């Protein structure tokens, strides 16, 4: 019972290293929930789990990877894109670095900074997808590398763990700072009338920009409930509010700037997870988990306007995982596999009087997320 409580707290509150939008839907990485006190030695009572970490520091790292290439318009997959080799391929490697301080057994404060490496290859952004414009079907790459948007957050356990040890939930507030560059530029290849290659510099696609250029704030919730000696459920979720409507990055410099989608949007983001955790008695500190999650970008922000370019949509995934912990170290890994993907209509799409406009987006089949925490 004590082991399962320990591992469930880890899964619900630390291992979430949630990667929003496995592809072009989400414009950048966002760490969903800060690390929250409660990860301690297996075998301790629930109240001891919190007591033992009072006044201590925790260093957190997380890594995630995905490769998006499947195009969806609504929930319809455009399979011909892969068949014709015209798909856009985004490869993302994200390392999240964080530190948490726990001034009391119920309160914690965290700072997280992502370090991002993104590569994008396509035909349409360069020579084009058609064999007429691009007879050799040449594919070119753009990319971005650097620090993303920093996040500062605080979390508080609502229930006194000394009084109700088998269940608890925490509420959190966070601030997202625009430390990531929202206007990274890359080389775009074009052909002139003589079919000679030339290069123009312009902002890379929104999906691989390092930041969004706006200050945002998030509301979070997470918790667990013990069901038996070795079984418990966990949940967590967050919503990121981005009040700024657009940033100052012009998508296509040198052309007439559209008031609808000429600039990049500073979009809201959301995610939620629910699952079950099973402790393995044969290996102390090891547990398995299975759950579901939904994540994405809405077409309309809850605060602020909706203009600007964005690819709204959401993904529903099944999420298996494994976690291991000892007295000071906690490690968790999950591999969410997409079950349903939907690229919904954006604000710009809805301005089409014919109702025909509906942009697409590329999604991944799965992502890999690994996180590690060490108390000092």
pLDDT value for 104: 87
pLDDT at 229: 83
Residue 151's pLDDT band (cuts 50, 70, 90):
very high
21/23 Cα distance (integer angstroms): 6
Mean pLDDT value across residues 123-145: 95
Structure confidence at residue 242 (pLDDT): 97
CATH number, domain 2-375: 2.40.128.130
The values of phi and psi at residue 310, to 5°, are -150, 160
Q: What does pLDDT average to over the chain?
A: 88
C-beta separation of 370 from 15 below 8 A: no
Contact present, 82 and 70 (Cβ < 8 Å): yes
The residues facing 146 across adjacent strands are 116
Q: Is 90 helix (H, G, I), strand (E, B) or coil?
A: strand
* Residue 66 contacts residue 366 (beta carbons within 8 Å): yes
Q: Report yes or no: 252 and 264 within 8 Å, Cβ to Cβ.
A: no
- Looking at residue 160, its pLDDT comes to 87
Is pTM beyond 0.75? Reply is: yes
Which 3 state secondary structure label does DSSP give 121?
Answer: strand
CA angle centred on 297, ends 296 and 300, rounded to 5°? 145
Cα angle, residue 261 at apex, residues 260 and 264 outer, rounded to 5°:
130
Give the model confidence (pLDDT) of 4-32 as tens digits. Answer: 554 555 544 444 444 455 566 654 555 44
Cβ neighbours, 10 Å, residue 326: 11
**C-alpha span between 244 and 153 (Å, rounded):** 20
Do the Cβ atoms of 67 and 90 come closer than 8 Å?
Answer: yes
- The full set of domain ranges for the chain reads 2-375
Residue 376 confidence (pLDDT): 85
Best CA proximity match to 148, nearest among 68, 217, 93, 67? 93
pLDDT of residue 25: 61
Q: What is the pLDDT of residue 43?
A: 33
- 45-81 pLDDT, tens digit per residue, is 344 445 445 458 999 999 999 999 999 999 999 999 9
Place 145 in a pLDDT band, splitting at 50, 70 and 90. very high
Confidence of residue 163 (pLDDT cuts 50, 70, 90): confident
Task: Give me the pLDDT at residue 247, please.
Answer: 95
pLDDT in tens, 269-327: 999 999 999 999 888 889 999 999 999 999 999 999 999 999 999 999 999 999 998 87
Backbone φ and ψ of 351, nearest 5°:
-80, -10
Query: pLDDT exceeding 70 applies to what percent of the chain?
Result: 85
96 forms beta bridges with: 62, 114
Q: Spell out a b/e string for 65-81, using b for 16 or more CB atoms within 10 Å of the CB, else e.
A: bbbbbbbbbeeeebeeb
* pLDDT score for 55: 57
Q: How confident is the model at residue 161 (pLDDT cuts 50, 70, 90)?
A: confident
Residues 171-180 have pLDDT tens digits of 999 999 999 9
Predicted confidence at residue 254, as pLDDT, reads 87
Residue 289's DSSP bridge partners are 277, 321
What pLDDT sits at residue 24? 62
How far apart (Å, rounded) are the C-alpha atoms in residues 20 and 67? 13
Mean pLDDT of the region 215-229: 93
| Residue range 236-243: mean pLDDT, rounded | 97
Please tell me the predicted confidence (pLDDT) of residue 22. Answer: 54
| Residue 258, pLDDT score | 92
């Amino acid at each position: 019972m004590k082991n399962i409580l320990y591992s469930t707290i880890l899964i619900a509150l630390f291992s979430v290293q949630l990667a929003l939008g496995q592809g072009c839907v989400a414009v950048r990485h966002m760490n969903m929930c800060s690390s929250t006190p409660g990860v301690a030695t297996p075998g301790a009572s629930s109240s001891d789990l919190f007591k033992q970490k009072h006044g201590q520091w925790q260093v957190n790292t997380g890594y995630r990877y995905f490769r998006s290439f499947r195009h969806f318009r609504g929930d319809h997959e455009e399979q011909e894109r892969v068949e014709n080799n015209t798909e856009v391929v985004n490869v993302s490697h994200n390392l999240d670095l964080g530190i948490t301080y726990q001034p009391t057994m119920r309160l914690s404060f965290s700072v997280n900074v992502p370090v991002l490496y993104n590569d994008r290859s396509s035909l349409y952004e360069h020579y084009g997808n058609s064999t007429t414009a691009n007879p050799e079907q040449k594919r070119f790459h753009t990319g971005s590398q650097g620090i993303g948007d920093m996040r500062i957050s605080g979390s508080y356990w609502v229930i006194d763990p000394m009084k109700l040890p088998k269940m608890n939930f925490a509420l959190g507030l966070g601030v997202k700072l625009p430390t990531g560059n929202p206007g990274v530029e890359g080389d775009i290849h074009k052909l002139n009338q003589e079919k000679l290659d030339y290069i123009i510099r312009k902002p890379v696609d929104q999906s691989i920009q390092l930041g969004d250029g706006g200050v945002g704030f998030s509301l979070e919730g997470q918790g667990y409930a013990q069901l038996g000696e070795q079984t418990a459920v966990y949940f967590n979720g967050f919503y990121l509010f981005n009040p700024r409507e657009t940033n100052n990055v012009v998508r296509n410099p040198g052309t007439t700037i559209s008031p609808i989608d000429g600039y990049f949007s500073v979009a809201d983001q959301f995610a939620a997870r629910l699952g079950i955790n099973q402790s393995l008695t044969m290996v102390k500190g090891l547990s398995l988990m299975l759950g579901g999650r939904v994540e994405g970008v809405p077409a309309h922000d809850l605060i602020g306007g909706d203009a600007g370019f964005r690819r709204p949509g959401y993904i529903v995934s099944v999420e298996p995982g494994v976690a291991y912990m000892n007295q000071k170290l906690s490690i968790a890994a999950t591999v969410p596999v997409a079950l349903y993907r939907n690229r919904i209509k954006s604000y710009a799409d809805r301005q089409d009087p014919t109702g025909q406009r509906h942009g697409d987006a590329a999604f991944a089949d799965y992502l890999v997320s690994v996180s590690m925490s060490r108390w000092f």
